[in-house]
């Protein structure tokens, strides 16, 4: 092969490589656009109905649970809030929202977990601190479910307006949370136990019983008759003996 022939083939190979790279970029770009278009229709009304059924089926209780979730007071940007909350929703469905197997609630959680997996392509990841803008909540299970439903509902509304809305870089917003430090946790009044309710009543009952016993004892002590000595035990010279002596000396 001549030097000219070799030199003539190099540009051809280079052009083929460039064309292949361009085709790959176009294909990957079209796939990404197709996925983003799909995001705007991924959350349906049926998913929101499942969440509402979970809320409606909860038992009324005063018990509180601890769970980590986004602190909306720190992260006020709605887009960044949802990007952060989306990851935490997945964690809460995996480790907190558990129901008996093969029940309607358990099946609803499975469907919501499958939805969250498909939604991952709609949330481009940012470099972020895991605990940034996150705090521990002490709330009822019902309140956790309401937070999760709000995340899905707001995500659906924003994706319909702009399918690329979650491409926003939220690193600056997350960094502000990190610089602020952890938010002081609110003091939660602890429920008073049964013992704390019973102790004052028990003390009052004991005082009342003690007072009645003391009153009864005092009353008996005042009502007991005084002991009177018999005549045989009277000493000589007592008025009783003198009367008896006078009776004996009287003439018949």
Domain with residue 111: its CATH number is 1.20.1250.10
| Range of the structural domain that residue 120 is part of | 45-180
A 10 A CB-CB count for 47 gives 20
Q: Is 229 inside a domain boundary? A: no
- Reading the chain (252 residues) residue by residue, the pLDDT tens digits are 444 444 445 455 554 555 555 544 444 444 444 445 588 889 999 999 999 999 999 888 889 999 999 999 999 999 999 999 998 999 999 989 889 999 999 999 999 999 999 999 898 887 666 788 999 999 999 999 999 999 999 999 999 999 899 999 998 988 888 766 554 555 444 445 444 455 566 677 677 767 767 667 666 766 655 544 444 444 555 554 555 444 545 454
- The pLDDT value given to residue 98: 87
Note the pLDDT tens digit of each residue in 5-28: 444 454 555 545 555 555 444 444
Q: Is 63 inside a domain boundary? A: yes
Give the distance, in angstroms, between the CA of residue 6 and the centroid of all CA atoms in the same chain: 73
Cα–Cα distance for residue pair 209/207, rounded to 1 Å: 6
Q: Per the structure, how many domains does the chain have?
A: 1
Q: Is 203 inside a domain boundary? A: no
Note the pLDDT tens digit of each residue in 126-137: 766 678 899 999
Nearest residue to 170 (alpha-carbon basis) of 34, 28, 67, 74: 74
Q: Is 189 inside a domain boundary? A: no
Tokens of 171: 């690193």
Nearest residue to 97 (alpha-carbon basis) of 46, 145, 155: 145
Q: Is 239 inside a domain boundary? A: no
Instruction: Give the pTM.
Output: 0.59
Q: Is 69 inside a domain boundary? A: yes
Burial class (CB in 10 A: 0-12, 13-18, 19+), 200: exposed
Q: Is 149 inside a domain boundary? A: yes
- The pLDDT value given to residue 125: 80
Q: Is 201 inside a domain boundary? A: no
């Amino acid at each position: 092969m001549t030097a000219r022939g070799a030199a003539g083939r190099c540009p051809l190979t280079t052009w083929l490589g460039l064309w292949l790279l361009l085709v790959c970029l176009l294909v990957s770009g079209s796939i990404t656009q197709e996925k983003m278009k799909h995001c705007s229709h991924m959350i349906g009304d049926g998913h929101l109905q499942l969440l509402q059924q979970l809320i409606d089926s909860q038992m009324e209780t005063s018990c509180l649970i601890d769970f980590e979730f986004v602190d909306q007071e720190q992260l006020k940007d709605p887009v960044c809030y949802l990007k952060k909350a989306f990851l935490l929703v997945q964690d809460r469905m995996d480790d907190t929202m558990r129901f008996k197997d093969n029940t309607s609630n358990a099946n609803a959680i499975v469907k919501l977990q499958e939805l969250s997996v498909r939604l991952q392509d709609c949330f481009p990841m940012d470099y972020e601190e895991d605990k940034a803008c996150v705090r521990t909540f002490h709330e009822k299970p019902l309140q956790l479910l309401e937070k999760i439903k709000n995340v899905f509902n707001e995500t659906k509304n924003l994706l319909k307006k702009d399918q690329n809305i979650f491409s926003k870089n939220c690193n600056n917003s997350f960094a502000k949370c990190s610089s602020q430090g952890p938010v002081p946790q609110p003091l939660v009044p602890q429920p008073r136990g049964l013992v704390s309710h019973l102790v004052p009543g028990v003390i009052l009952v004991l005082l009342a019983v003690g007072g009645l016993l003391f009153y009864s004892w005092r009353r008996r002590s005042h009502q007991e008759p005084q002991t009177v000595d018999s005549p045989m035990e009277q000493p000589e010279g007592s008025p009783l003996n003198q009367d008896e002596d006078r009776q004996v000396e009287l003439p018949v």
